[in-house]
């Protein structure tokens, strides 16, 4: 039986669940009415699997709902509190943001950008990034934000696929005290792209850069722009943005999200999950280049008129206290981050967070990957002081918004460390076997979504066939998430990682997330990553990499024995790795995801390949050294 935390979650509105279960279409119809529409829809849902058309005939605008509706009541309220890596800060009220967005929207118009055009945004985490997104939304241009850590080749691929007419970038951005020269990367990416008519450059670092005939300076464009720009009345299905996400093979997929359905989903889930209040200060650490940044840094908080923190920089720079310092400084009430970040913070020990006043926090959240129960308890105890509920959320780029989560805004339920609890109202989610049959309680299976929902992707940009094949072909008329999960005896969902992060050892299928969670639950381990390498007898064997917590001095052979015994006990002998490598850091992307592909390449003595999204290049060499040293030691012992 899982440990249960009976901590109050605020409101209790059982009628919302009841309404959603009796008729999910009518339920979402009522939720959408909480937004401001220019004209009502004629049909709530037209469902021609796998294509859903929500709120057909209705007209709406995302920028209007994020900004204009707050001008009469909350115009002087802080919308964005921005802090840079250097400590530099800015506060933009809802009036400030509204004015800046309108001026920049007019600047876009002056360059010939109109409804339906695509605009690529390649900016660091500065206020101009949401300003650019909202300006595009205001005039009906479809934005495609590219994470500023991507290489020129990755950027080029996305600009080419979207056929963007305009690129918005800056001279550079700051990361761990260094300047990343973004303008140079853009110049390399768009060479020979005649369809890119202009590049707008924000002078962020004031470092010199080369001006081309296509280049326009942000400040100069805005200086001459009118301060009023009426919002375009857009069809509910109008494409709001394209966001590229990696697949298991091939080029990135361009996930296309509409406007009306997406906004209805975000407005509902942000309020339900965070129980948002006018006095709250919301801090989501996600980069806006990822879907969490789109949904719960830009659109979700602004739809509710919330005050939020946007931070430019690494969460542990210049030291491991940075996040706690920000929470104390701005009296953050809601903190939403990743389990990867939390595992890193755990590694630094409890004294650092305990030295800051975190008493303003009332709600904690996690996103991006399954959270280990051990990490959940640390977050609850050390950061939340055993008084803050933890909102463990599951969703995807493709779903647009949260799909499984505790919901303090509407219901009180017990929490279990490591479980996302139950699906949000208005969606039916199940766990099934290979044939699509529901599995028994506590049995691993595939997570599926059985009915359309408003935030779902419209399609993949320019590829309806791939959209159908990727998400809707495994089970007929049912969305296949590509994730493993189980449902316990109480109906709680437990996410078990990607179905394609699967190892097949001696005919047995083993999820990497299960093994990693088990290793991290050892008292001396901060982080772990698992991958498989070919084996002549078993087909594939497991190898693992682990980062020790600070000041652990235990002999590695003893530690290895303890971890392997724990895996055998908690999962089974079949899950025991062939080897474990102790390293000081794991190779991660700048968004905090472990690059298991690199670990596998090192273990197989293969070419490393593209490392353009790597946060810290020294991590690869350290892993290689640990691998080579252990192999040498094993070889000497065998000889």
* pLDDT tens profile 26-58: 999 999 999 999 999 999 999 999 999 999 999
DSSP 352-396: HHHTS--TT--EEEE-SSPPPHHHHHHIIIIISTT-S-EEE-B--
Average pLDDT in the 52-69 region?
98
Q: Quick one: what percent of the chain has pLDDT higher than 90?
A: 73
289 and 385 part of one domain: yes
Q: Which residue has the tokens 């595009």?
A: 136
Q: Which residue has the tokens 């008519």?
A: 197
372 and 240 part of one domain: yes
d(CA 142, CA 459): 14
Residues 149 and 288: beta-carbon distance below 8 Å: no
Structure tokens at 516: 């990693």
Helix (H, G, I), strand (E, B) or coil at 607: coil
Paired residues of 547 in beta bridges: 527, 583
Quote the Cα angle for 442-443-448, to 5°.
Answer: 105
User: What is residue 173's predicted lDDT score, i.e. its pLDDT?
Assistant: 93
Helix (H, G, I), strand (E, B) or coil at 161: helix
Total number of domains constituting the chain: 2
User: What is residue 243's predicted lDDT score, i.e. its pLDDT?
Assistant: 97
Helix (H, G, I), strand (E, B) or coil at 78: strand
382 and 512 part of one domain: no
User: What is residue 134's predicted lDDT score, i.e. its pLDDT?
Assistant: 98
DSSP state of 411: -
472 and 540 part of one domain: no
405 and 516 part of one domain: no
In this prediction the pTM is 0.87
Burial classification of residue 234, based on how many CB atoms lie within 10 Å of its CB (0-12 exposed, 13-18 middle, 19 or more buried): buried
Kindly state whether residue 563 falls inside one of the protein's structural domains.
Answer: yes
Average pLDDT in the 431-439 region?
96
Kindly state whether residue 444 falls inside one of the protein's structural domains.
Answer: no
471 and 577 part of one domain: no
d(CA 98, CA 68): 7
d(CA 201, CA 518): 47
Q: List the beta strands (DSSP E) in 292-343.
A: 307-311, 334-337
Q: Which residue has the tokens 């720009």?
A: 229
Burial classification of residue 268, based on how many CB atoms lie within 10 Å of its CB (0-12 exposed, 13-18 middle, 19 or more buried): buried
pLDDT at 597 over 80: no
Q: Residue 176: which pLDDT band, with cuts at 50, 70 and 90?
A: confident
Average pLDDT in the 525-541 region?
83
pLDDT at 249 over 50: no
Kindly state whether residue 6 falls inside one of the protein's structural domains.
Answer: no
- Closest-CA residue to 98 (of 140, 68, 65, 128): 68
365 and 508 part of one domain: no
Paired residues of 166 in beta bridges: 119, 198
Kindly state whether residue 507 falls inside one of the protein's structural domains.
Answer: yes
Angle between helices 94-110 and 128-139 (to 10 degrees): 60
Q: What is the mean pLDDT of the chain?
A: 91
Average pLDDT in the 501-525 region?
81
pLDDT at 196 over 60: yes
Average pLDDT in the 314-332 region?
95
In whole angstroms, how far apart are CA 161 and each of 49, 251, 368, 398, 562?
Answer: 25, 10, 26, 18, 50
Looking at 394-398, 402-406, 407-411, 567-571, which range is the least confident one?
567-571
User: Between residues 588 and 430, which one has the greater pLDDT?
Assistant: 430
d(CA 99, CA 226): 10
User: What is residue 622's predicted lDDT score, i.e. its pLDDT?
Assistant: 73
384 and 532 part of one domain: no
pLDDT at 250 over 70: no
206 and 333 part of one domain: yes
Residues 312 and 170: beta-carbon distance below 8 Å: no
Q: Which pLDDT tens digit goes with each residue over 444-469? A: 999 999 999 999 999 999 999 999 99
Average pLDDT in the 283-294 region?
95
pLDDT at 522 over 90: yes
The domain in which residue 566 lies consists of: 501-638
Q: Which helix (H) or strand (E) holds 456?
A: none
Average pLDDT in the 200-214 region?
94
| For the ranges 146-160, 332-346, 350-364, 583-597, the one whose mean pLDDT is highest | 350-364
pLDDT at 591 over 70: no
Q: Which helix (H) or strand (E) holds 431?
A: strand 429-432
Average pLDDT in the 5-14 region?
68
305 and 360 part of one domain: yes
Q: SS3 for 186-199, per residue?
A: HHHHHCCCCCCCEE
Q: Residue 571: which pLDDT band, with cuts at 50, 70 and 90?
A: confident
- Closest-CA residue to 458 (of 158, 237, 138, 293): 237
Helix (H, G, I), strand (E, B) or coil at 487: strand
Average pLDDT in the 512-521 region?
88
Residue 179: CATH number of its domain? 3.40.50.12780
Residue 597: CATH number of its domain? 3.30.300.30
- Closest-CA residue to 119 (of 63, 164, 152, 155): 164
Helix (H, G, I), strand (E, B) or coil at 479: strand
Average pLDDT in the 364-380 region?
92
Angle between helices 182-190 and 152-162 (to 10 degrees): 50
238 and 348 part of one domain: yes
300 and 388 part of one domain: yes
User: Between residues 125 and 602, which one has the greater pLDDT?
Assistant: 125
């Amino acid at each position: 039986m899982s440990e249960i935390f009976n901590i109050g979650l605020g409101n209790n509105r059982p009628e919302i669940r009841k309404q959603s279960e009796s008729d999910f279409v009518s339920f979402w119809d009522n939720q959408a009415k909480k937004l401001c529409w220019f004209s009502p829809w004629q049909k709530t849902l037209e469902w021609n699997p796998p294509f859903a058309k929500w709120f057909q005939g209705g007209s709406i605008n995302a920028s209007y709902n994020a900004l204009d509706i707050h001008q009469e009541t909350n115009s002087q309220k802080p919308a964005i509190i921005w802090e840079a890596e250097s400590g530099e800060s800015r506060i933009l009220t809802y009036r400030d943001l509204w004015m800046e967005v309108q001026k920049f929207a007019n600047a876009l118009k002056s360059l010939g950008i109109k409804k339906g055009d695509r605009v690529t945004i390649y900016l660091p985490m500065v206020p101009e990034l949401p300003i650019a997104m909202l300006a595009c939304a205001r005039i009906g241009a479809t934005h495609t934000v590219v994470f500023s850590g991507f290489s020129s080749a990755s950027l080029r691929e996305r600009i080419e696929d979207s056929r963007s007419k305009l690129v918005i970038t800056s001279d550079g951005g700051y990361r761990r005290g260094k300047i990343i020269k973004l303008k140079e990367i853009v110049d390399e990416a768009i060479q020979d792209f005649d369809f890119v008519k202009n590049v707008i450059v924000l002078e962020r670092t004031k470092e010199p850069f080369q001006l081309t005939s296509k280049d326009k300076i942000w400040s100069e464009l805005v200086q001459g722009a009118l301060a009023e720009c009426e919002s375009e009345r857009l069809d509910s299905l109008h494409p709001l943005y394209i966001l590229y996400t990696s697949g298991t093979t091939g080029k990135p997929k361009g996930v296309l999200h509409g406007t009306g359905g997406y906004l209805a989903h975000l407005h509902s889930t942000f309020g339900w999950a965070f129980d948002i209040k006018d006095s709250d200060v919301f801090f989501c650490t996600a980069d806006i280049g990822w879907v969490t940044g789109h949904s719960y840094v830009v659109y979700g908080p602004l739809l509710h008129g919330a005050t939020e923190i946007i931070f430019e920089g690494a969460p542990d720079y210049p030291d491991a206290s940075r996040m706690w310092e920000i929470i104390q400084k701005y009296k953050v009430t809601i903190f939403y981050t990743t389990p990867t970040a939390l595992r890193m913070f755990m590694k630094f020990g409890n004294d650092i967070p305990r030295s800051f006043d975190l008493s303003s926090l009332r709600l904690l959240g996690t996103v991006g990957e399954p959270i280990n129960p051990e990490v959940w308890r640390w977050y609850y105890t050390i950061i939340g002081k055993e008084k803050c509920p933890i909102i463990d959320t599951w969703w995807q780029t493709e779903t647009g918004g949260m799909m499984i989560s505790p919901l303090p805004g509407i219901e009180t339920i017990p929490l279990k460390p490591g479980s996302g609890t139950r699906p949000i109202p208005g969606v039916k989610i199940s766990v099934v076997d290979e044939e699509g049959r529901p599995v028994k309680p506590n049995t691993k299976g595939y997570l599926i979504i059985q009915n359309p929902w408003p935030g779902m992707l419209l399609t993949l940009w320019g590829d309806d066939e791939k959209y159908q094949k990727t998400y809707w072909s495994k089970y007929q008329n049912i969305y296949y998430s590509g994730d493993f999960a189980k449902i316990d005896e109480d109906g709680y969902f437990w996410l078990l990682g990607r179905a394609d992060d699967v190892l097949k050892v001696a005919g047995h299928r083993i999820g990497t997330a299960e093994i990693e969670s088990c290793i991290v639950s050892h008292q001396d381990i901060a982080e772990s990553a698992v991958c498989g390498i070919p084996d002549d007898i078993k087909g594939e064997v497991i190898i693992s990499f682990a980062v020790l917590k600070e000041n652990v001095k235990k002999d590695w052979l003893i530690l290895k024995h303890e971890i392997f015994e724990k895996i055998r006990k908690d999962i089974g002998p079949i899950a025991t790795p062939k080897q474990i490598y102790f390293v000081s850091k794991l190779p991660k992307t700048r968004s905090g995801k472990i690059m298991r592909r690199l670990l596998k390449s090192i273990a197989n003595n293969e070419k490393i390949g593209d490392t353009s999204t790597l946060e810290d290049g020294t991590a690869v060499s350290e892993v290689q050294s640990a691998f080579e040293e252990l192999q040498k030691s094993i070889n000497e012992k065998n000889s």
